[in-house]
Structure 1
Amino acid sequence: MEPRPVRRSQRQSASKDSPSKKSRKETGREEVGGGGDENEMDVEESAEHVEENGEQEIEDSSHNTHQPEICPGCMRYFWRFVLLVLLSTSACLLAYKIIPILRRTADSVKHPPRAVEAEKFADHLTLLETQFPSQRSDLWKRSKIHLEKHLNTAHPTEPVSLIFTSGLKAEKTLKCLAQGLASSFSSALNASVLHIDGASKASQDSDEVKLDVDSQLQAAFEGDKPVAVIHRFEELPPGSTLIFYRYCDHENAAYKQVFLLFTVLLPQDEIQNRQSLKEVEEAVQDYVKARLVGSGNQMAFNEMDADKYGGLWSRISHLVLPVVSEKEVEQKGC
């Protein structure tokens, strides 16, 4: 057999072709390498482009977050409104301070200063104390301070009032002492005293009594009687007592340079010395309420009820003082 030269030649041709293949591989690698560089450049350019777009978007978003501009006309109206509110508030505060002054000025023109001799009141009160030696020291001390304060005020802003109360065994003492204190006060004003007896009006029509008491008080206070004693206040017809709102309503009272003294007779023999002034006041309040306030729930406007009584009591009960019996006075009278 002949040797196979074809295979050797094939090997030689393969070996001869290998450099070209090798060169092609190298060329392919170079082409691949060159393509990689170009891709890297494209990536960098796209990244820069993204960053630029991001910065622009951030700038745009920052511009978009700005608040819209307010028109100058709106701001002008707003500040005008603020100025109007400030001026209105200032005017209200000024009126709040000036109106009371104007009222006092008007009262001083309508009611000129009183000619007061306060020392006369002190002298008469000292004499009265000797005539009623059994009374508590609190009665003299507190009534003196309470009434002198009003006398020493040139233009009082409200009337002065107090309540004397006693048990059944001191009825005459209660009446005489009330008269004596009222006379002592009126002596400082060189004036007289009006006396109203509630017990004598107990069975009369409430509206008629109310009109009668009103006319008496008005005539007295506009005349020469700036002092009124309302004896046995608890005996007045309930509805008639509403008239004292007009005369005892603090700074809204119709007359301010006056003194109203109420007396209340409690349904017990005597007020004990061990009872405090607070206990006495509560006893008087409860008793008068029981006498004046009706039991019905529906009340007419001109009748007394619990709410009206509460308001009235707060106006007349500035000072409640107990009176005990004086043996000589109970036997001989005033």
Structure 2
Amino acid sequence: MSAQPQQRLLSQFLKAMQAIYGPFQTLSPSQARTWTPPPMTAGHRGRYLWTDAFGVLNFITLGSVTSNATYYTLADRLIGTVHDTLGRTRDEARRLPGASDEHPLAGGLRIGKEDEEDDSGGDGDGQYHHYLTIWMFAFNRMALASRERRYNDLAIELAKAIHPRFMRDRDSSRPRMFWKMSIDLSRPLVRSEGNLDPIDGYVVYCILQSANRDDPHVLAREVAEYKKILDTKWQRYSSDDPLDLGMTLWTAHWFDGEEMWATELSRRAINCLCEFVLSTRSGNASSPRLSKQETCSTMGTSRTHQRTALHSASSGPVWESIATLRNTRPV
């Protein structure tokens, strides 16, 4: 990409990030070390795990693209703020059960929903497996960018803490997963199994394990359990949700061309997403979409090895015409 388009993309990237995290671009290294991320307009106490996980990844990206280590400092400050909010009870009186200041992730992390855990609408706070795996992935990237293994170690600690809580029938030929757990991880709030949770788990846990030089089998049992679910689940995969399809493509690309499930799943997801984009362009989309869906679908198509004209279609004017800052909020 030539310098001018790349600079324009960087400018848009910074504008979007500063709309959420405030004017951080002019902070000096010393100011960055004391920076406190402003509360977002949505999320409990201004924090939402999904949004902030991508915030961390975006700061890492900025640090890499600009060769400015200050962005890694901002990522670390955001990490600490999330742990001090979503790693604590809703009243912030104490760490989540099992966690401590030395081990802040041993009790998982709350979603950051504004409503209480057992709200009547069924959309209250708790813990989501797929949010937690994105946080783990962000930590792995932070470890690589900063060359500090402690981030990957923390991700492994989180992985080991939450895995047995979301799993049941672990020793069976086909374990099962819960989609949503209570804040303290003591009981399921949604007993059904997420479409992508076992795939996310398998891929992210493999990434964390491969980065752990001391013990290359540190998550072997967990990986094997996810694989048992994945081997039966991917063969029935189908979706018309752009978020689900995009995240499927992004997750599968790590093993696309190496493991059969990933190659075939990528093919199925790209076909489903092609159908979705065509229906969108013809005006047959059933409902408005959130920017989170657009982000994931574009991210997925940009990473898959099975690229088609879909990428330009999904990241072009069709997407831009409906993406506005007011709907870059958590759901």
TM range (shorter): under 0.3
Q: Considering fraction of residues, name the structure with more helix.
A: 1
Higher RCO (Cα < 8 Å, 6 or more apart): 1
TM-score normalised to structure 1 length? 0.25
Choose between structure 1 and 2: higher strand proportion.
1
Of the two, which has the highest radius of gyration?
Answer: 1
Name the TM-score, length of structure 2 as normaliser: 0.25
